A and B are shown apart, each in its own frame.
Chain A
Amino acid sequence: MARIGVFICHCGENISATVDVEKVAEVASKLQGVAFSTHYKYMCSSPGQDKIIQAIKEYKLTGIVVAACSPRMHETTFRKATAEGGINPYLCEMANIREHCSWVHEKSEETTQKAIDIVRTLVAKVRRNAPLFPIKVPVTKTALVIGGGIAGIQAALDIANAGHKVIIVEKQPSIGGHMSQLSETFPTLDCSQCILTPRMVEVSQHPNITLHTYAEVESVSGFIGNFDVKIKMKAKSVDHSKCTGCGECWQKCPNKKIPDEFNAGLSNRTAIYTPFPQAVPNKPVIDRANCTWFTKGGKCGLCKKTCKAEAIDYETTDEYLDIKVGAIVTATGFDLKHSDFFPEYGYGEYKDVIDGMQFERLASASGPTAGVIRRPSDGKIPEKIVFVACAGSRDKAKGIEYCSKICCMYTAKHAMLYKHKNHEGKAYVFYMDIRAAGKGYDEFVRRAIEEDDVQYIRGRVSKIYEKDGKLIVKGVDTLLNAQPVDIEADMVVLATAVIANKESESLAQKLHISYDKHHFFAEAHPKLKPVETNTAGIMLAGACQSARDIPETVAQASASASKTIALFSNNEMSREPAVALVNNVNCTGCLLCQEVCPYLAIEKEEIKDRNGNILRYAAKINSGLCQGCGTCVAMCRNKSIDLQGFSNEQMLGEVMSLLNKPF
């Protein structure tokens, strides 16, 4: 005979303002199987939980229904209290009378009646609940870090320094990411490469880190603690174990007109190349799409003839590597909208209208102009530069409503760098608002305005066009009585919107993590789980989640690392026991369930007699792989599979009680 306790929560006034909680408690006390019922202002608080613990002991309860918020919010809390009271935690269920009732209805008798109905169904379920026990699974103490930018580097180093193995997969031939392209960094103007390259070297030399560059994640299966990952190692065409990185090959390569990605298209590179002189690993790969040997069928071959180490091998193919990891940190970074996105700014037609990353390269000592800011069209040093903030960002008409967050700061930095290098030059910044809410950030912007004489104009730019060799920037000064402003500039820098990496959608699908409508990866909770995803064991770091600057990225990367390290601190971990279970006495072994299982969790089991002769076959669920989706339960022809915690009997009990029918 069931002895169920029902606990109704007021949730402050969240529930009690619309639902008559006293009445719900009173009606609940008369339901079949209910031995005790009460209500309280904050059931989740310590005295609230004590009520549950005490009642279990006092009334010898065998099941608990807490009518409060969503189980996503507090199921763990109340199951823990239930266990403290001395009974199996899975005998406790939550009736969601907040999100499903009080929050969405006005105060009325019907609302109270709905709350009663919800409680009644859960009581009917709990009467049929069975004790369950968490599933123990081993943890593979190796982490996969996807992306070798500053986020991936930081996460990898933190995890590796805690004594765990890390595998980094980087798409490009070198790690370093966007940060390696930057000139100086705000708000301290320290050189980006100077602070980054030591970290890159540390990664390459760390005994716990394995680095796979020019590689991509091909597929991911498994679950927290036990992911199986297939990595595609793109053919480098260069044997890095033989290559000394001497550089003769790329000096000889005749194909020198390929737009250089590292310099944001402002210079050219060869077909066999390292992205930049400080690359890690500092050994080249052949870009086969642009190499004469591969495009013109075996012509050229100069690099191979040149290479004294005999490291060049045109015959290598893409290879696949299977690895097992316990956690994954996704740190795939961002992209920028290019300047050809804007019809009003010439659709990329004007060479001297560039984006922020291109300006970084112009200002960088390692850039195509060796740090002298020259305009791309004719190499002249511009006398007047206009910087346009919010180019695309915060613009619903352009489909990008969000703030790109880093632009206010890097635009101030750009203007400052230009003024530091060209004292006579004029720098203008068109802006909507200045968002400089970081440590030392506002001071930095004030410095640009007050000490470096950067002209800030609050208003937007409606048009840019070329006239007599000048770029005419038409804007408005909204602080000067909305006067139209026309500036004849030599160069324009658009702080174009930060957008998601173009492969982020397909990667999210491989990882089974969610992403928002702009294809940025979604965190599990915007406030309380900012680095976790909805898939346990997969963490986020950096701008793949949303636009972020370096300090924030590094902080988040360390947070992901600490989540990973916490996971690795146990040899095995517990999983929720809500998985499918086969009754192999009834199972006919038709294995229809195997075909529909999306997680490949069902295998064929041999049922043998005592002499070891096979009598028949049955389905068997691998509880480590099963995600409890219930598809197999629906498919089973003779009801031999049930989902623990959500059994057919429990579900039917709920439905029948809702219909007020005996069951």
Chain B
Amino acid sequence: MKVGYYPGCSLEASSKEYSDSLFAVAEKCGISLEIINDWNCCGASTAHNLNHELAVALPARSLALAEKQGLTEIVIPCAACYSRLSQSQYELNQDSIIKTKVENYLNMSISGSIKLLTVLDFLHKYIFPVVDQHIVNKLNQKTACYYGCLLARPKETSTIKRTEDPMEMEEVMQKAGATPIKWAFKTECCGAGFSVSKTDIVAKLSGKIIEDAADRGAESIIVACPMCHMNLDMRRPNIKKQIKRDINIPVLFITQALGLSMGISADRLGLNKHYVPTDKTEKCIIKKEA
């Protein structure tokens, strides 16, 4: 089976392990991911702050290319990229004026019919039906599933059922044998792109998330967004200074956690690329009872 794939910039660089683990899990389940040829930047947080048409046109180009390539479904692992691509497609379908404009800029036509999948949609649709036969380990841990701001919002384009209290990640982690905890910060903002310009704010916001997870007994935090991962993982020294507590629970991409339960090696899943060591999570893996 073949599904289209839009990597976005993070998955090629700072969050390469997200991409690696996604490919590893997909491969294990017999699904191949086909990259959109000549894809371009989604515009990220910059474009839609500067120019509305540009913010629609940038993702539209990748969508048009995907259509040309004959893809009917694409998985977009980065929550921000998903947000931009889905928002662009939504607006093109709603607003014929902007659609005409964008098609003229790009000199390409867009039908707007491609089904866009978040990583959670992808896991639920393609991995869930076959996952049981591939799960060999039990990830014997309490995990805090963290959605961040974009995965569940906005309502118009989100595929999540309960915006304020989503459960889709928890369902995946249960498959992996983990025990998802109830906590209060699963859809709070980590500070996102302010990581660079206002690191103190990010440390404060991310600090609250890490503290709540730790206080409620989480042994790992599971994410599905490169930006969330970066803030919760790489910014740990700033967070430590901010909250005056040294919390060292690791942050894993959901595909990494699922990969571990499938018996894929930590190296292949890129667990060595994290700032906060993940060895505690790796150690708690036990063989699944037959």
Q: Which residues of A contact B (CB under 8 A)?
A: 342-344, 346-347, 349, 397, 463, 465-467, 472
Contact = CB atoms under 8 A, between A and B. Distances in A.
A467 B155 contact: no
Nearest to B155: A397
Contacts of B155: 397
Contact of A467 (B162, B164, B215): B215
B162 A343 contact: yes
B148 to A, nearest CB: 14
B165 A467 contact: no
B86 to A, nearest CB: 18
Contacts of B163: 343
User: Which of B155, B162, B184 counts the most A-chain CB atoms under 10 A from its CB?
Assistant: B184
21 contacts: A342-B164, A343-B162, A343-B163, A343-B164, A343-B165, A344-B164, A344-B165, A346-B184, A347-B165, A349-B182, A397-B155, A463-B184, A463-B188, A465-B184, A465-B185, A465-B212, A466-B184, A467-B184, A467-B212, A467-B215, A472-B184
Interface string B170-186: 00000000000010110
B228 to A, nearest CB: 17
User: Max chain B CB contacts within 10 Å: which of A342, A465, A472?
Assistant: A465
Nearest to B165: A343
Nearest to A472: B184
In the A-B complex, the 3 residue pairs with the closest CB atoms:
A465-B184, A343-B164, A343-B165
Interface residues of B, number: 11
A344 B162 CA distance: 10
Contacts of A343: 162-165
Nearest to A474: B188
Interface in B182-234: 182, 184-185, 188, 212, 215
Contacts of A344: 164-165
A466 to B, nearest CB: 7
Contacts of B188: 463
Interface of B: 155, 162-165, 182, 184-185, 188, 212, 215
A463 B164 CA distance: 9
Main secondary structure of the interface of B (DSSP, over half): loop
Contacts of A467: 184, 212, 215
Contacts of A346: 184
A397 B163 CA distance: 11
Nearest to A462: B188
Nearest to A345: B164
Contacts of B212: 465, 467
Contacts of B164: 342-344
Contacts of A347: 165
A660 B185 CA distance: 73
B165 to A, nearest CB: 4
Contacts of A463: 184, 188
Nearest to A486: B208
B158 to A, nearest CB: 12
Contacts of B182: 349
Contacts of B184: 346, 463, 465-467, 472
A397 B153 CA distance: 12
A386 to B, nearest CB: 16
Nearest to A342: B164
Given A343-B162, A344-B164, A347-B165, 17 more contacts: A342-B164, A343-B163, A343-B164, A343-B165, A344-B165, A346-B184, A349-B182, A397-B155, A463-B184, A463-B188, A465-B184, A465-B185, A465-B212, A466-B184, A467-B184, A467-B212, A472-B184
A467 B165 CA distance: 18
Contacts of B185: 465
A462 to B, nearest CB: 9
A344 B152 CA distance: 13
A463 B209 CA distance: 13
A465 B185 CA distance: 9
Nearest to B163: A343
A450 B148 CA distance: 40
A344 B185 CA distance: 10
A467 B208 CA distance: 11
A488 to B, nearest CB: 14
Contacts of A465: 184-185, 212
A342 B184 CA distance: 13
Nearest to A397: B155
Contacts of A342: 164
Most interface-central of B162, B165, B185 (chain A CB within 10 A)? B165
A359 B188 CA distance: 29
A119 to B, nearest CB: 41
B258 to A, nearest CB: 25
A347 B167 CA distance: 14
Contacts of A397: 155
A639 to B, nearest CB: 52
Nearest to A464: B184
B100 to A, nearest CB: 28
A344 B215 CA distance: 19
B198 to A, nearest CB: 14
A378 to B, nearest CB: 20
Contacts of B165: 343-344, 347
Contacts of A466: 184
B244 to A, nearest CB: 16
Of A346, A347, A349, A467, the most chain B CB neighbours within 10 A belong to A467
Contacts of B215: 467
Nearest to B184: A465
A494 to B, nearest CB: 14
A654 B163 CA distance: 56
A467 B216 CA distance: 9
A347 B165 CA distance: 9
A83 B162 CA distance: 64
A472 B183 CA distance: 13
A644 B155 CA distance: 54
Contacts of B162: 343
B276 to A, nearest CB: 23
A397 B155 CA distance: 9
A576 to B, nearest CB: 48
Nearest to B162: A343
A349 B155 CA distance: 24
A349 B162 CA distance: 16
A343 B184 CA distance: 10
Contacts of A349: 182
A343 B160 CA distance: 14
A28 to B, nearest CB: 45
A420 B85 CA distance: 55
Nearest to B188: A463
A280 B8 CA distance: 70
A370 to B, nearest CB: 34
B145 to A, nearest CB: 15
A497 to B, nearest CB: 16
A347 B166 CA distance: 12
Contacts of A472: 184
A467 B185 CA distance: 12
A349 B182 CA distance: 11
A374 to B, nearest CB: 25
A466 B216 CA distance: 10
A34 B215 CA distance: 89
B207 to A, nearest CB: 13
